[in-house]
Structure 1
Amino acid sequence: MDLTAPLDTRAFSVPPFAEACLDHADDTWTAAFDHPFVHALAEGTLDADTFMFYQMQDARYLEAFADAASLLSTQCTDPDDTLWFIDAARLAIVVEGELHEGYGDELGYGPDDIRQLQLTPNNRAYQNHMIERAQRGTLVAGTAAITPCPWLYVELGQRLERDMGAIPEDHPYAEWLAMYRDPEFNEYMDNLLERLQRFADAADDAARERAKTAFTTSVRYEWMFWDQAWTQQEWPV
């Protein structure tokens, strides 16, 4: 399957600044769909130990995503925006956590194992990037930094649906594939990208450029997140 082929249409609106972020990311965005980890996951050939490595690191990543969303909520002046980011933090921990809990039961790890997990260098760097942008960056930069994670996953789910059709019942990662095909994520993306556009509109040119850089940096870390699982990355010393 050619996961690098762009979608003809997206199931959610992509405002102009989001398009500008995609243009800034350029080939990096495409590369994030073409890592061998992604292909093996889609084909169902991914080794269970590699998938477990990914899942456990991802559980800890989502804690940082929730922290970044919570920090962004404190920058908002509109109560609706504040509540949306608080809900986004909750979604990362609770809803996606249910997926991790299910695979934990299946693969043999639990909450204590996740708490004691040593973060990989790539995971640690990605988390630090998001938190730093949420703490020290503008609202548009912090929002841009957290946007690639949900966007890439939702778009990956839609590309897989286009290329592979129905998920085989015996696919070992069927639940994971099904989650990111869920139409409810389209509403999430509409809300996120609409806010990214408003925050960009309220910012100056320099802030918008920094936001595009934050977006591209997160796309690079998304590729690196696949890679840290694929190689089961360890600290060199």
Structure 2
Amino acid sequence: MTFLETLIEENMPIWQQYLDHPFIKGMAEGSLSLDLYHQYLIEDTLYLKEFGRVYAYALYKADTLAQMRYFYEMLSIVQKNEAYSRILHLQELGEDMDEVENRNPDPVNQMYTAYMLNIAKSGQVIDVLAASLPCMVSYRFIADHYVQRSKDVLKHHFYGQWFSDYSNENYSYYTKRWSDLFNQLAESISHEHQNKIRKIFKECSLHELNFWNMAYQKGKENE
């Protein structure tokens, strides 16, 4: 078992809550209110903006050219694929993207990105990966789970795109590359550093859960 697989197993009680979350189950069933998803898209766009800064720090701190390529690749995927998909859907829902980008994120969102940015500023390359992989890998974990159960989740105009984005072969290929880099770096760190990584990974797994809770509650408030 790789170090990342060990971390996921240790945090499976949290990750299982993603699969059982009413927001995610609503997407999978096609029953989620579009107003809730609309609010999620706004918050996630603001999140991805800060997520890009996290990878920018990692790119600066990279020890080798190969690591620099990995983080440049990550930054490109976030900006070209994830953020672009959010923009298209928000524009379809009538949002002005300049106005969206100037909004203040929800405090839950802000706490999450502030934590990751602090890790990126103060930590090493492997610490940045530990902070970012709970988001990147859990999205694949969620999408794969529901797509394997039924391809019908891909049919919804909005939610189907989300499941397609995170279950397709291209995304799986890149998450495997980033996971392999993380596992490779983990081989040479101390036991003390491994414990630090465990704390970061768990903290960001909890932030992910809080983000889903926020998306569901915030959307309900705006209904």
Whichever residue aligns with residue 119 of structure 1, its letter is P
- Secondary structure of the 1:46 match is coil
Instruction: Tell me the residue number matched to 2:71.
Output: 85
1:199 aligns with 2:185: yes
* Contact 1:44/1:171 (<8 A) preserved: no
Structure 1 gaps, min length 5:
1-14
Instruction: Tell me the residue number matched to 2:149.
Output: 163
1:173 aligns with 2:138: no
Deviates more, 1:220-229 or 1:107-116: 107-116
Instruction: Tell me the residue number matched to 1:21.
Output: 7
Normalised to the residue count of structure 2, the TM-score between the two structures is 0.92
Within the candidate set 194, 198, 201, 1:208 is matched to 194
Alignment of 1:57-76 (within 5 A): 57-76=43-62
Instruction: Tell me the residue number matched to 2:38.
Output: 52
Question: 2:42, 2:88 → 1: CA distance?
Answer: 12
Question: 1:70, 1:155 → 2: CA distance?
Answer: 25
* Contact 2:153/2:159 (<8 A) preserved: no
Normalised to the residue count of structure 1, the TM-score between the two structures is 0.87
Quote the offset at 1:212 in angstroms.
1.3
* Contact 2:137/2:175 (<8 A) preserved: yes
| Larger helix percent | 2
Q: How many residues align?
A: 220
* Contact 2:165/2:171 (<8 A) preserved: no
Instruction: Tell me the residue number matched to 1:218.
Output: 204
1:189 aligns with 2:170: no
Quote the offset at 1:170 in angstroms.
4.8
Question: Structure 1 residues 28 and 170, CA, compared in 2 at 3 Å: closer, same or farther?
Answer: closer
Instruction: Tell me the residue number matched to 1:142.
Output: 128
Question: Structure 1 residues 100 and 168, CA, compared in 2 at 3 Å: closer, same or farther?
Answer: closer
Instruction: Tell me the residue number matched to 2:106.
Output: 120
- Secondary structure of the 2:63 match is coil
Question: 1:170, 1:134 → 2: CA distance?
Answer: 36
1:101 aligns with 2:90: no
Question: 2:32, 2:9 → 1: CA distance?
Answer: 31
Instruction: Tell me the residue number matched to 2:218.
Output: 232
Report Cα offsets for 1:59-108 as digits up to 9, x if no partner.
Answer: 11111111111111222211011121012112112211221122112211
* RMSD, aligned CA: 1.8
Question: 1:55, 1:171 → 2: CA distance?
Answer: 14
Quote the offset at 1:163 in angstroms.
1.2
Alignment of 1:4-19 (within 5 A): 16-19=2-5
- Secondary structure of the 1:202 match is coil
Whichever residue aligns with residue 165 of structure 1, its letter is K
Deviates more, 1:173-182 or 1:191-200: 173-182
Structure 2 gaps, min length 5:
none
* Contact 1:142/1:211 (<8 A) preserved: no
1:152 aligns with 2:138: yes
Question: Structure 1 residues 59 and 232, CA, compared in 2 at 3 Å: closer, same or farther?
Answer: same
Question: Structure 1 residues 94 and 110, CA, compared in 2 at 3 Å: closer, same or farther?
Answer: farther
Quote the offset at 1:168 in angstroms.
5.7
- Secondary structure of the 1:133 match is helix
